[in-house]
């Protein structure tokens, strides 16, 4: 009997992971991707000797990526090389204080003492984080749980309450840490999923463990080498990838999807996996009715978007580490503006990556290449913003960086590029320009995203940041592996 045909819509990391895992499970797999290259948000810009990661720049949980190679008897290290970074992050505050994050307890204690945070507070917080991580990892991550019924069955009532259900992430942080510095730093781990620490449930405090226990990694030459490695693996496995092939329509017969249309041609499939986000896929590819879309929109609000700024400099700033955060003077207000009032922040917390600090191949000698990313609201019809509005924010950000120590930054820029939420939506078809998929919000969804299997068409599945367990590179790769397991079990 010939293998069943699976078509994957989109070659983001979630789609690639699903495609590889399904091929390894014996399916005949083909991918249709709208862009000219694979990787989705894992993207790269090379210009005038500078190489910028346009999307992700922090790799965590590499063991999840390793699982894409193991079933084929291969090793990830033969496809791309990774190295851990020290410090993990450098944190700059408006009053001139600078604090580094290290996974080594003695180094972390030295940093804590600089601002009067008792080191034992950090140790207690990290123990609390580790307990939450182990609990979340055991079911939600590894079993690919999708709903309350699955949670109740796997965890039972007693374990369920260990999720610290009645507090927000910030409340969990504030109950362990006493200085504003460390409260701001650990609140900002929510950056990994583009949500607000004041609205995310407390169990999101599992995130520091991802970094403190499993380390923080860089991919030599830039993170796009992950996509290049997966491309080689797919070639070896015989997975067909169609580029510049936007899917415009998914066809159905009754309660089954039968295939899709790309570039005007119909392609039949037994099973479809959509790496296009859930809401845009139902809306644009399946033309589902407005009431159904509205019911999804209630729960599956997009995460924040971002202003993604790349600067090639003619100099280096020695005070920068590889990863840097320039904190808002009023982080609570920053979160409220972006996630509750959906306004551009006056004083955002800014993430700045200078890969040139550890990788001499990404910038000309003696020069830094910077990617700067403040989180900003996703696109709102009730609050439309223009490229000029975003450009003004970019100026405020450069002002802030100059004020906080990057003296004469403007004068040293020899190359500049930036993307607004409008560009991000156009590039990846992401819902309202979201950069991590669905927001984690205690009141809207308790951090649950959409289920992997469609509730309307049993042979339609979803993968990526809008699906459990949500956004971030390792999570969408895990989602791809779990969706493959789900398909195999369902298809028996």
Ligand X SMILES: Cc1cc2nc3c(=O)[nH]c(=O)nc-3n(C[C@H](O)[C@H](O)[C@H](O)COP(=O)(O)OP(=O)(O)OC[C@H]3O[C@@H](n4cnc5c(N)ncnc54)[C@H](O)[C@@H]3O)c2cc1C
What are the residues binding ligand X (CB under 6 A)?
Answer: 9-15, 32-35, 40-42, 55-58, 246-247, 275-276, 306, 308, 373, 428-430, 435-437, 464-465, 471-473, 476
Nearer to ligand X, 177 or 385 (CB): 385
Nearer to ligand X, 177 or 304 (CB): 304
What gap in Å lies between CA 339 and CA 303, rounded to an integer? 8
Q: How far is the CB of 245 from ligand X (least distance, A)?
A: 6
Nearer to ligand X, 129 or 211 (CB): 211
CA angle, residues 143, 149, 150, in degrees to nearest 5: 5
Q: How far is the CB of 218 from ligand X (least distance, A)?
A: 11
Q: How far is the CB of 210 from ligand X (least distance, A)?
A: 9
Residue 62 in contact with residue 217, Cβ under 8 Å?
yes
Q: How far is the CB of 205 from ligand X (least distance, A)?
A: 18
Q: Nearest residue by C-beta to ligand X?
A: 12
Q: How far is the CB of 58 from ligand X (least distance, A)?
A: 4
Nearer to ligand X, 112 or 286 (CB): 286
Nearer to ligand X, 89 or 155 (CB): 89
Instruction: Kindly give the pairing relationship between strand 217-219 and strand 82-84.
Output: antiparallel
The torsion defined by the Cα of 137, 141, 143 and 146, in degrees rounded to 10, comes to 130
CA angle, residues 224, 230, 233, in degrees to nearest 5: 150
Nearer to ligand X, 117 or 440 (CB): 440
Nearer to ligand X, 21 or 275 (CB): 275
Q: How far is the CB of 124 from ligand X (least distance, A)?
A: 27
Nearer to ligand X, 308 or 460 (CB): 308
Q: How far is the CB of 424 from ligand X (least distance, A)?
A: 6
Nearer to ligand X, 132 or 276 (CB): 276
Q: How far is the CB of 254 from ligand X (least distance, A)?
A: 23
Nearer to ligand X, 87 or 177 (CB): 87
Structure tokens at 49: 């000797």
Question: Which residues, 6 or more positions from 424, have their beta carbon under 8 angstroms from its beta carbon?
Answer: 305, 306, 308, 430, 433, 434, 435
Q: How far is the CB of 470 from ligand X (least distance, A)?
A: 8
Q: How far is the CB of 219 from ligand X (least distance, A)?
A: 11
Neighbour tally for 250: CB within 10 Å: 24
Nearer to ligand X, 164 or 470 (CB): 470
Question: Which residues, 6 or more positions from 87, have their beta carbon under 8 angstroms from its beta carbon?
Answer: 100, 101, 102, 321
Q: How far is the CB of 276 from ligand X (least distance, A)?
A: 4
């Amino acid at each position: 009997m010939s293998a069943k045909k699976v078509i994957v819509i989109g070659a983001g990391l979630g789609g690639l992971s699903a495609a590889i895992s399904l091929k390894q499970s014996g399916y005949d797999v083909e991918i249709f991707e709208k862009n000219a290259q694979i990787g989705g948000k894992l993207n790269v810009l090379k210009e005038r000797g500078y190489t910028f990661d346009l999307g992700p720049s922090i790799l965590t949980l590499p063991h999840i990526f390793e699982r894409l190679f193991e079933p084929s008897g291969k090793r990830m290290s033969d496809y791309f090389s990774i190295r851990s970074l020290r410090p993990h992050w450098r944190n700059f505050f408006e009053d001139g204080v600078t604090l580094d994050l290290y996974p080594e307890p003695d180094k972390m204690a030295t940093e804590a003492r600089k601002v009067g945070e008792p080191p034992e507070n950090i140790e207690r917080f990290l123990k609390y984080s580790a307990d939450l991580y182990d609990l979340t990892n055991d079911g939600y991550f590894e079993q690919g749980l999708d709903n309350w019924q699955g949670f109740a069955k796997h965890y039972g009532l007693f374990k369920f309450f260990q999720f610290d259900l009645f507090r927000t992430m910030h409340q969990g942080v504030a109950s362990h840490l006493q200085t504003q510095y460390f409260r701001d730093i650990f609140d900002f781990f929510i950056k990994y999923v583009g949500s607000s620490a004041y609205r995310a449930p407390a169990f999101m405090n599992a995130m520091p463990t991802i970094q403190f226990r499993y380390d923080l990694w860089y991919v030599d030459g830039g993170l796009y080498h992950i996509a290049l490695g997966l491309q080689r693996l797919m070639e070896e496995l015989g997975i067909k990838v169609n580029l510049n092939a936007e899917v415009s329509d998914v066809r159905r017969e009754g309660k089954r999807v039968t295939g899709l249309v790309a570039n005007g041609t119909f392609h039949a499939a037994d099973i479809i996996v959509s790496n296009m986000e859930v809401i845009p896929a139902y809306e644009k590819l399946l033309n589902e009715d407005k009431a159904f879309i509205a019911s999804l929109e209630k729960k599956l609000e997009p995460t924040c978007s971002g202003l993604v700024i790349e600067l090639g400099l003619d100099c280096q700033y020695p005070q920068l580490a590889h990863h840097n955060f320039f904190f808002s003077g009023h982080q609570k207000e920053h979160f409220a503006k972006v996630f509750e009032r959906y306004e551009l922040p006056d004083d955002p917390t800014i993430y700045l990556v200078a890969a040139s600090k550890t990788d001499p191949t990404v910038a000309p000698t003696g020069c830094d290449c910077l990617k700067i990313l403040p989180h900003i609201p996703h696109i709102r019809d009730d609050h439309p913003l223009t490229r000029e509005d975003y450009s003004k924010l970019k100026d405020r950000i450069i002002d802030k960086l100059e004020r906080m120590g990057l003296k004469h930054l403007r004068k040293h820029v020899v190359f500049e590029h930036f993307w607004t939420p409008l560009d991000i939506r156009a590039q990846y078809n992401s819902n309202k320009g979201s950069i991590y998929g669905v927001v984690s919000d205690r009141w809207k969804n308790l951090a649950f995203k959409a289920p992997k299997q469609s509730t309307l068409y049993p042979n339609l599945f979803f993968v990526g940041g809008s699906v459990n367990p949500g956004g971030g590179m390792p999570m969408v790769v895990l989602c791809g592996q779990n969706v493959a397991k789900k398909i195999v079990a369902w298809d028996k």
